[in-house]
Each structure stands twice: as C-alpha cells, then as structure tokens.
Structure 1
Amino acid sequence: MGEVQVAALGNAIVDVLGEVDDAFIDRYDIIRGGMALIDADRAAMLTDAFGATTHRVAGGSAGNSLACIASLGGSARFIGTVADDELGTTYRESMRSVGVKFDTPARKGDTPTGRCLIAVTPDAERSMQTFLGVAGDIRIEDLQPGDVEEAQVFFIEGYHFETEASRATCVEAANRAKDSGRFTAITLADSGMVQRHLEPLRQFISEKIDIVFANKDEAIELTGKSDPLEAAQAMRELSKWGVVTMSGDGSYVFGPEGEIEKVDAIAPEQLVDTTGAGDAYAAGWLYGFTKCMPLKECGRLGSLAASEVISHYGARPEKNLRELAEEHGFVA
C-alpha cells in the first residue's frame, strides 16, 4: 500500500452546492444561514429539488485537511465509508483527483452516501442540510491492512467519537497505529461533542492520542479552564503535542518540551468564508510535523493554509499551497 504522511479517519460527506432563490429557502423550510441534520427522505427530496446544475465535491473535516496536505505536496490517505451509489463514486473520484488515496470499499445496502446540501442564495448566504448516511457508520471491518500502520500520523475526525460503533473503530485504529510506532492525532470537531462525551474522550486522548487540535471553545470545554492559554497548559497533561486555535487571534502550540508558543494568524487577502479554516490549519501543522519542522513553523504553515481557505467560498484551497508556502519562505 505504501507509506503516507497522514492517514485520516473521517466522515465521507459530499458537498452538493446549488444556487437557489429566496423562495426556494422558504418553500423547503430551510434554516437560512444555519445547518440542520436531516433524514434520508428529505435528503433525496432536496437533492432532486436542487436539480442537475449543482457543484459536487468531497467534503467533511478530515477530507478537507487531506486535500490541503496534498496541495502542500504531501501524501495522504482517507479512511471512510461511502455507499455503492453515484455520490459515493463522486466522493472517491473527488478525493483521488486532488491526490488523496481512498481505498475503503463501498458499503452495500440501502443507506446512501452522506451529503451536505448547501443552498446558496443571491446574497452568498450558505444554508446547509446534512444527511450523514453511511458516513457516520465506520466499522472495524472497514479498516484495510496498512491503512493506519503505514502512515506517519493517523488522524481522527472527532465526530467519529459520537457513536458506539465508530468509537470502537477509533480505538482499534489508534491501537494499530501505536503498535506500529506511528503518531496519533485527533481534531475535536465540535464543542458540543466534547461536552457530551467529556470523560471517555479525555481518557481516550490520554491513553491513545499524541496530538490534539482544538479551537478555543473546544479546548476550554475539554479542560474546564477559562481561557485558551490556560486550556493549552491543561491540555499538556493529556497529550504530548497540541494546538489551540483562536481564529484571527492566532494559535497556541506546544510539544513535550519547552514553553507554549503563540503563533500569529495570517490575514487573508479578503475574508469571505471561514468554513474549513480549522481543517486547513491542522493540515499545515501536520505537514510541517511530518517534515520535522519546529512547532512554531508548523503553526505558521497552518495559519497560511487557513488564510488561503478563508479568502474564498468553500473549504478546499484554490491556490496551490506548496507554491504559496514557498513564496512566504515557509518551505524550501
């Protein structure tokens, strides 16, 4: 299968973007500017209502991170579940088209591929309806030999800690990575998830995880501290390496030695859409980590990737991140 820098376990969600008018939002009772989880019937109905003129691209937090790693010139593998259907094929081809390996077999059965139906109105507002489908049901038997054992870093999307089956898969995959002498990492994904599963999550991190990515709200929820710096200090008791991101206020990074370091944010050319900023930051940091860069340089590379992603709509980079990093002197 061959070694890669980062292998990630994530939700295989196809972003389906459709340009609609305001009447469409009202007609289908969509929460303007919000996100709601929906069932299979509503997902099928809205997919049909969007029509054929949609833009479809592989999404999901981990998938977004891997696309950024590939744009930096790194090697990456996605582990996740899609159905044996049209959107499943779209997801697989979209990941492979940007250079990310994706070989998890398609799931047979009646449950379709997950999708995020994004209604874009003339004012550029994005209103999302998300159907997880098979994406949220990753099982131990979905793990292929070498998936995690042949990655420098095995990276978990925190949403998979929500369900019992997916959590068991996270534990098994982390065990395989650790037994193979690999690094393990997790992005906490959502402060609500941290709150709902706080104690088992803390135990999992302390026993299985080397690197934790959290935004300030997730870090405060995880540690019970009142501000990001205190939270970063408390996180050192759980993991060897960690990051606390604070949007425009930059980030804190730490390792097993030395002081916690502050990394400044990099202002985008224009702030358009913050979707995927944390995913891009994690990608830059992990790429730098696998290249043995100093932690502050890893953070600067993460800040640069995040800056590019928030300068336009969508969570994937539009500029080549490798070329951008070279222009800034972050990589040789």
Structure 2
Amino acid sequence: MTAPTLDILAIGNAIVDVLAATDDAFLAQEGMTKGQMQLIDAPRAQSLYAGMGAGREVSGGSAANTLAGAAMLGARCGFVGQVADDQLGEVFVHDIRAQGIAFDIPARDAAIPTGRCLILVSADGQRTMNTYLGAAQFLPVAAVDPALVESAAVLLLEGYLWDPAEPRAAMQAAIRIARAAGRKVALGVSAVFCILNHHADFVALVERGDIDILFANEEELLALAALDDFDAALDKIARSVPLLVVTRGADGAIAVENGATRHVVAAEPVTRIVDTTGAGDLFSAGFLAGQAQGRAIADCLTMGAVAAAEIISHYGARPETDLRALVANRLG
C-alpha cells in the first residue's frame, strides 16, 4: 500500500460562522432552545441576521474546524466541501488555504449562496446555533476524487453533512474508496438531531465495520445507543467500533479500544469559559493530530483536551493560540 501523503482528509460543511453575544430574552423571543443547533432556510437566515447584535465572521464548519486545529498541530490536511461563488465563499476559501489545508473544489453558482451558521453566544459561554447550509448541501459525488481519498491516512466525515442527500452520497462513495484502499474512516456524529434523523444509517455504518474511529459527546452516545445509561451505551457502541472517543464536557473524555481497553483524561483547566463553539471539533483535532504523530491513546486524549480548552477560552471555533506550543508545554 502506498504511503499516505495526507494525514487527514475531511468531508464537511463549508460554512462561515457569524458570532454575536445574546441574552436569554432574545433567544426566547426568537423561539430558540438555548445551547441547541437547528437548521434554517434562507429567509430565516436573513431575518435572524438582521436581528442579531454586532458580531464577527470567521470560517467554520465542524470538519473544517477540526482540520484547522490539526494543521496547526502539524498534521497534513485536505478538505472536500462546497462553497458558492460569492463573498462568503471567498472568505472560506482564503481562510482554509491560509491554514495550509489543501482545498480545490470549484465554487458553484451563487444562486444558492455559501452556507453560514448564525451563532448566538450567551454570557455563560453556551452557543445557540442556527445553520443555513446553502451551497454546502449540494456537494456532488463528482467532487470526491478517488486519488485524493486514497492519499489520506484517515478520512474524516462530518455527521451534519449526512442530512442532505447529495453530500451523503458523496460521503458513501468516499467510504467505499477509503476502505478499498485500506485507509481508516472516522466519523463525528455532530449532533443528537443528526443521529435521530439517520439512526439506522449511523448504526449500520458502525455495525458493518465501516467506521474505525467514532467521535461523540455524551448525549450523542446515548442517542446512538438508544439507552439512558452512559456506561451501558459506552459498552454497546464500543463493541462495534475499533476506537470510540467520547467527550464529557467538564468531566473530560474517554476512549475505548477494541471494546475493552479504556483510557480516561480529565478536562484541562480553563480560567473562564467564553464560547463553547467548536469544543468537540478541536478535541477531535488534537486527538487525530496525536494519532498522526503515532502517540499513545492517552496522549492523544490529552492533546484533544488541550485544544478544546483553548477554543472555549475565546469567541469562535478556530484557534487563536499556538496549539503546538500548548501541547509541548503539557506533554513535553
């Protein structure tokens, strides 16, 4: 088998985050559930954007956020996603390439604009997300280059993108290519609603052996296992996936290898939680970067915890501090 030239190739939503501070009154006024994510249409995106306070725009998307962190930690990364030929599309392309991430998917016509996520950040750091997928939901199968997939040690799939039919087909094609090439496939299930909408699909992916690394948080794990008890859910899912990684917020994270060996890491201390946007994405970044470096699972978990702690200490889901330096200080 040819040696990989990329450590991680991710397929995910190409979207731009628009972040603004909020309060509970505004969330209630707009009929939102604090801390949740919902998909919205173009008219809703326009009206909500008009009602938000002053904010800032930064490139986002769950898998793209993971790549940004992993690239900062030295991983060789590539991205497959769909933008439109518009201003936000140009912002996204510039930002991801500036991170040293390979990205060359042609932009589509701007009749359907580049996706955006309107993120309302509460005083306690919780984020309420409203996502208009736009062009991202029209990623075609043709965008999946077999040679590119075969060149990556790990194919990372973003669960959010499983919802629209076209990119779901693209990811299914990529899975087949990666498995035939002997590469690993990682899946981030992204959100409880993704699991509830596609529970049978996700369970089938795991039980067929299509997934080598599964990322979930505690709530997502329970939804995937269809159980209420964390330990029972962990045991159930871990039996079907070689490496299960579950984040638990302030309670740290746990990884289970081959359904048996458990590794646990505490959350890294944070002076003040500003914005939890991207915490899971950056945990995955640190973990996968550690895997690319051949580190032990315990160290990979610590790298994930370090990256997650950095991201929740400021607004936005892209690192603002040198993650490599933070990891070196923590692990030597």
Superposition TM-score, scaled by structure 1 size: 0.88
Q: 1:102 is paired with a residue of what secondary structure? A: coil
Equivalent residue for 2:302, pick from 279, 295, 300:
300
The answer for the alignment partner of 2:199 in structure 1 is 198
The answer for the alignment partner of 1:113 in structure 2 is 114
Query: What is the rounded CA distance, in whole Å, between the counterparts of 2:146 and 2:276 in structure 1?
Result: 36
The answer for the alignment partner of 1:329 in structure 2 is 331
Query: What is the rounded CA distance, in whole Å, between the counterparts of 1:21 and 1:255 in structure 2?
Result: 41
Gaps of 5+ in 1: none
Q: CA deviation at 1:234?
A: 1.5
Alpha-carbon spacing, 1:257–1:89, altered in 2? closer, same or farther (3 Å): same
The answer for the alignment partner of 2:137 in structure 1 is 136
Q: 2:102 is paired with a residue of what secondary structure? A: strand
Contact 1:229 1:252 in 2 (8 A): no
The answer for the alignment partner of 1:225 in structure 2 is 227
Q: How many residues align?
A: 326
Deviations 1:76-105 (A, max 9, x none): 111111011111111110111222221111
Deviations 1:183-211 (A, max 9, x none): 10000111122122212211122331111
Identity of aligned residues (%): 38
Alpha-carbon spacing, 1:232–1:312, altered in 2? closer, same or farther (3 Å): same
1:86 aligns with 2:87: yes
The answer for the alignment partner of 2:155 in structure 1 is 154
The answer for the alignment partner of 1:173 in structure 2 is 174
The answer for the alignment partner of 2:258 in structure 1 is 256
Contact 1:104 1:143 in 2 (8 A): no
Query: What is the rounded CA distance, in whole Å, between the counterparts of 1:179 and 1:122 in structure 2?
Result: 48
Gaps of 5+ in 2: none
Q: 2:269 is paired with a residue of what secondary structure? A: coil
Q: 1:77 is paired with a residue of what secondary structure? A: strand
Q: 1:5 is paired with a residue of what secondary structure? A: strand
Query: What is the rounded CA distance, in whole Å, between the counterparts of 1:158 and 1:88 in structure 2?
Result: 21
Query: What is the rounded CA distance, in whole Å, between the counterparts of 1:44 and 1:325 in structure 2?
Result: 40
Amino acid of the structure 1 residue aligned with 2:294: C
Alpha-carbon spacing, 1:198–1:257, altered in 2? closer, same or farther (3 Å): closer
Alpha-carbon spacing, 1:296–1:145, altered in 2? closer, same or farther (3 Å): same
Equivalent residue for 2:8, pick from 6, 11, 14:
6
Query: What is the rounded CA distance, in whole Å, between the counterparts of 2:124 and 2:185 in structure 1?
Result: 41
Query: What is the rounded CA distance, in whole Å, between the counterparts of 2:104 and 2:277 in structure 1?
Result: 26
The answer for the alignment partner of 1:41 in structure 2 is 43
Deviations 1:264-314 (A, max 9, x none): 211213222211111111111111112221111111111111111111221
Deviations 1:209-236 (A, max 9, x none): 1110011111111123333333222122
Contact 2:58 2:316 in 1 (8 A): no
Amino acid of the structure 1 residue aligned with 2:291: F
Contact 2:79 2:103 in 1 (8 A): yes
The answer for the alignment partner of 1:77 in structure 2 is 78
Alpha-carbon spacing, 1:37–1:246, altered in 2? closer, same or farther (3 Å): same
1:237 aligns with 2:239: yes
Amino acid of the structure 1 residue aligned with 2:233: A
Query: What is the rounded CA distance, in whole Å, between the counterparts of 1:257 and 1:218 in structure 2?
Result: 18
Amino acid of the structure 1 residue aligned with 2:267: A
Query: What is the rounded CA distance, in whole Å, between the counterparts of 1:17 and 1:271 in structure 2?
Result: 16
Equivalent residue for 1:210, pick from 189, 205, 212:
212
Query: What is the rounded CA distance, in whole Å, between the counterparts of 1:234 and 1:256 in structure 2?
Result: 12
More displaced stretch, 192-201 vs 296-305: 192-201
Contact 1:233 1:260 in 2 (8 A): no
Alpha-carbon spacing, 1:74–1:125, altered in 2? closer, same or farther (3 Å): closer
Deviations 1:29-57 (A, max 9, x none): 57485655332234345657779x85321
Alpha-carbon spacing, 1:143–1:122, altered in 2? closer, same or farther (3 Å): same
Q: 2:331 is paired with a residue of what secondary structure? A: coil
Alpha-carbon spacing, 1:292–1:227, altered in 2? closer, same or farther (3 Å): farther
Superposition TM-score, scaled by structure 2 size: 0.88
Query: What is the rounded CA distance, in whole Å, between the counterparts of 2:122 and 2:274 in structure 1?
Result: 15
